[in-house]
Every structure is written in C-alpha cells, then in structure tokens.
Amino acid sequence: MRPVRILASAAVIVTLGAETLPLAGQIPLGNPSGRGQTVTPAFEGWYTNANGTLSLSFGYFNRNFEETIEVPLGPDNMIEPTEFQGAQPTSFAPRRHYGVFVVRVPADFGEGNVYWTLKMRGQTFRIPGHLHRDWQIDALKGEAGDGNTPPVLRLGAGEEGAGPAGAWGGPLTARVGEPLDVSVHVRDDGVGRSHFVAGSRDGSPVNLTWFKHQGPGDVKFGERTARVPHGGAEVSTPVTFSEPGEYILRVRANDGSGVSAAGHAQCCWTNGFVRVIVNP
C-alpha cells in the first residue's frame, strides 16, 4: 500500500499501512539533504478579492537543499475539485516557498475544501484549503493594519495585480535556444515596515526573483534577480528554453520587509505570471 500523508491545518497525520502517526505542525521535517527528499504542499490562508471572490493561497516546502523537483500536472500533481486545476506549479525549487499561487473560489463557497495533492517517491501528500476564519490573511490590505501593502505588477499589456494571486501576462512566443526578453513593470508604496522584521526600512527597493512555474524543459534566466526603485520601473530579463511546449514563468516581487518575513500574513510580496509558447 502506498504511504499517504494527509496534511491538516492544525496537525499532520501520516498513514503507513494500518498505522496512524500524529505529527506536530503543518510541514513534517526531514533530515537535511541536498537531494532525494520530497515536496510537501502548504495551505497559507485565504483573503477576499475586490470583486467579492475569495483566494486560497498555497505554497510548498521542498526538503532538498539543492534539487529542483519536477511533477507535471496530472494524477501526481492535482487540485480538487478539478474545476480549480491548473494554476499550481510543476517545478519546485529547493526549500520553503510561501504563497506561490492561489485558487479563486466564489463568495458562496462556504465550508467546502480545495485539495492539493502531490505524489512522488512512493509518498502522497494532500493538503486542504478552506475558509476557516482563523486562516484569513492580510495579503492585500497590509499586515495587521500597518499600511504595508504588496508591490503592484503589470506584465506587458495585462492588468495590474498585487498579492499572491498577482498579475498575468502573455502568451508570448519563443523558439528553443533563442533568448526571449520578458519584462515586468513594478511599483510599490515604499512602506517597509513589518512586525516580523526588525529594522525593515521605508523607501527600500523592490527585489525581484524569477522562477520556472510550469513547463516541459529547462529554463535559464539571464538575470534571475533584480532590484527596482519603489517609485516604479520596468525591468526585463532574457529567458532561454530547452524544449518546445507551453510554459508559465513566475516573478516574485518582495518589498523592503524581506523574502519570507511576512510569513502567514503574506502582506509584502506579489506574484507575476507570464505564459510563453515555445516553438522548435
């Protein structure tokens, strides 16, 4: 029987055959290793969008310190109900990544659950996303009312967006092995305060980091990171693809509070996504 790990919001239950073992915390810890470990999905919380819909925010923990793990969409990487399938990553960079994507649900979703399941290396991990009041987060309005809102992104001619749901752009077209310049416009409120980080400063630049989110081949970024003045600017990076197919790139914009300082509140960063169709 394949081991199944069901990750709940308050505790983790690991089912191995007929034996059930409770573990403390949402994400079980393993021995430090560069490669060979697994990835656990994580539910970060939910927030209300301007149009009244609700966003369930998900991230992940790749236990490896070096290995990026690829899990294509399908039975080994799925969102249920299946109507919400498709926004999750298929490429998992090492270590903990907060608020990587959201699942939007209608305002009347009520007490339903959205499950993200990952299967790899003989193990199954399944995390529920829900609208429990204790899991409401300040992803758009500023953590704990301190006024620090996330950066605002725009990709190409797409609409602006902020927070984990972010902004979308594309589709762009590229050819295998030929660099494609991908641009993003960034602006921020300049507030760098956070209750989680001592010494965070107002007026700090926005830090950008690019990731492969989905796609069949390797992706190389000419400039994987950049710093942008909070007043606003457009920056680009050349991107090269190793195989043809459909890709989604993600750019994460962090304000002066830091990369993971916001933690559960998720007040201080925004995702940008751009679709790319790569031809041979």
Q: Judge whether residue 39 has pLDDT over 90.
A: yes
- The span from the CA of 28 to the CA of 78, in Å, is 21
The beta strands (E) that lie in 163-222 are given as 167-175, 180-187, 206-214, 219-221
Is the distance from CB of 39 to CB of 120 less than 8 angstroms?
Answer: yes
Per-residue pLDDT, averaged over 246-254, amounts to 96
Q: What pLDDT was estimated at residue 16?
A: 29
Q: How high is the mean pLDDT of the chain? A: 84
- The span from the CA of 85 to the CA of 21, in Å, is 30
DSSP tag of 111: T
Per-residue pLDDT, averaged over 201-222, amounts to 91
DSSP tag of 262: T
Q: What percent of the chain has pLDDT over 90?
A: 68
- The span from the CA of 106 to the CA of 46, in Å, is 12
Give the residue from 93, 104, 116 showing the smallest Cα distance to 26. Answer: 116
Q: What pLDDT was estimated at residue 146?
A: 61
Burial class (CB in 10 A: 0-12, 13-18, 19+), 184: buried
CA torsion through residues 218, 104, 268, 33, sign: negative
